[in-house]
């Protein structure tokens, strides 16, 4: 089931599928291993991708089954783009590519300055003709929203017009700031947590997603 979050300006969607919520609880547990965390993130990304792409436009193609010819549904338009905000975004990206292997991929390299909490760009590469493609931006956490906003602005500079943002967890402060700066970009998340702490981490959250994915500190 997909529900709109109360008191949040549309479009903001919490995907509350029982399997997602169950797997997310295990991911939050600090006792979960690096391998387990990475596997669960990949599994959840498949379910999130299913929901965020449920309204893709279809057309038909004439094919022949072993029994007869038929007009069968296929996706219409140019292949969509998954845009990963490095490094943690790759955890969601890999699972989504399992579901949509023909998708194009963009990488946006950003790290958060621990003093200012502002994003610092170090890498950007994206497919051509973004203006003709649906771009799904992925990052496990929407905390301050600074990195997500910077990545989306960069994609818009390259021509992207149809953009959706997918994350695992969101903080109310980040959602509010994101919606103010990117009112045309829908947000899809598995959970809306309580708040940010003084260091800009989501509470209760799950810690640093990148560190837990890769076993770093």
Which residues are catalytically annotated?
112, 116, 208, 211
Can you tell me the distance from the alpha carbon of 2 to that of 51, in angstroms, rounded to the nearest whole number?
8
Can you tell me the distance from the alpha carbon of 153 to that of 149, in angstroms, rounded to the nearest whole number?
6
Phi/psi at 71 (nearest 5 deg)? Answer: -95, 110
Can you tell me the distance from the alpha carbon of 82 to that of 91, in angstroms, rounded to the nearest whole number?
12
Q: Write down the residue that tokens 């004439």 correspond to.
A: 62
Q: Are 137 and 167 in contact (CB under 8 A)?
A: no
Q: Are 139 and 172 in contact (CB under 8 A)?
A: no
Instruction: Select from 208, 170, 148, 189 the least CA-distant residue to 27.
Output: 208
Q: Are 136 and 81 in contact (CB under 8 A)?
A: yes
Q: Are 122 and 110 in contact (CB under 8 A)?
A: yes
Q: Write down the residue that tokens 């399997």 correspond to.
A: 19
């Amino acid at each position: 089931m997909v529900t709109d979050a109360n008191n949040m300006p549309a479009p903001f969607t919490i995907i509350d599928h029982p399997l997602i919520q169950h797997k997310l609880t295990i991911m939050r547990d600090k006792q979960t291993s690096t391998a387990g965390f990475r596997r669960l993130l990949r599994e959840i990304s498949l379910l999130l991708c299913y929901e965020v792409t449920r309204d893709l436009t279809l057309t038909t193609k004439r094919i022949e089954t072993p029994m007869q010819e038929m007009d069968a549904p296929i996706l219409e338009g140019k292949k969509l783009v998954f845009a990963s905000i490095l490094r943690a975004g790759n955890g969601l990206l890999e699972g989504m590519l399992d579901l949509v292997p023909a998708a194009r991929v963009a990488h946006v390299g950003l790290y958060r300055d621990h003093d200012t909490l502002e994003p610092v760009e170090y890498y950007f590469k994206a497919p051509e003709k973004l203006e003709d493609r649906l771009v799904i931006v992925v990052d496990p956490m929407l905390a301050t929203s600074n990195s997500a906003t910077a990545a989306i602005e960069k994609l818009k500079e390259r021509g992207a017009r149809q953009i959706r943002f997918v994350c695992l967890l969101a903080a109310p402060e980040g959602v509010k700031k994101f919606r103010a700066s990117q009112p045309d970009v829908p947000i899809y998340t598995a959970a809306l947590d309580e708040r940010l702490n003084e260091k800009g981490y989501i509470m209760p959250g799950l810690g640093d997603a990148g560190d837990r994915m890769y076993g770093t500190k």
